[in-house]
Amino acid sequence: MQLARKFQPAAFAAPLGFKDIRLTLAAAEALRVPMPLGSLLHDRFLRLLALGGDTLDWAAFGDLATQDSGTDQLHAPQ
């Protein structure tokens, strides 16, 4: 079963998710707490935004794995 990949209108826009992960990583660094998955999320958000995903819901970064596999393209606005 394939889920609907509807990322617009954004319920929680990608730039907001990126801001939150940056704040989380800054707090973790101040407390000297490693956050390896946080770093991965940071890079995925950054890539999503670099590909023009500013208006997409943050969940659109899940499409990056599909794009990385070479089987599909990011579903950005037309």
Q: Is the pTM of the predicted complex or chain greater than 0.85?
A: no
Joined tokens for residue 48: 């999503």
> pLDDT tier at 33 (50, 70, 90 boundaries)?
very high
Q: For residue 6, how many other CB atoms are within 10 A of its CB?
A: 10
Residue percentage of the chain with pLDDT more than 90: 37
Structure confidence at residue 2 (pLDDT): 43
* Mean of pLDDT over the chain: 80
Burial class (CB in 10 A: 0-12, 13-18, 19+), 57: buried
Write down the H helix ranges in the chain. 14-30, 36-50, 63-69
Structure confidence at residue 54 (pLDDT): 86
Joined tokens for residue 43: 């890079």
pLDDT digits (tens, 9 = 90+) for 8-28: 565 678 888 899 999 999 999
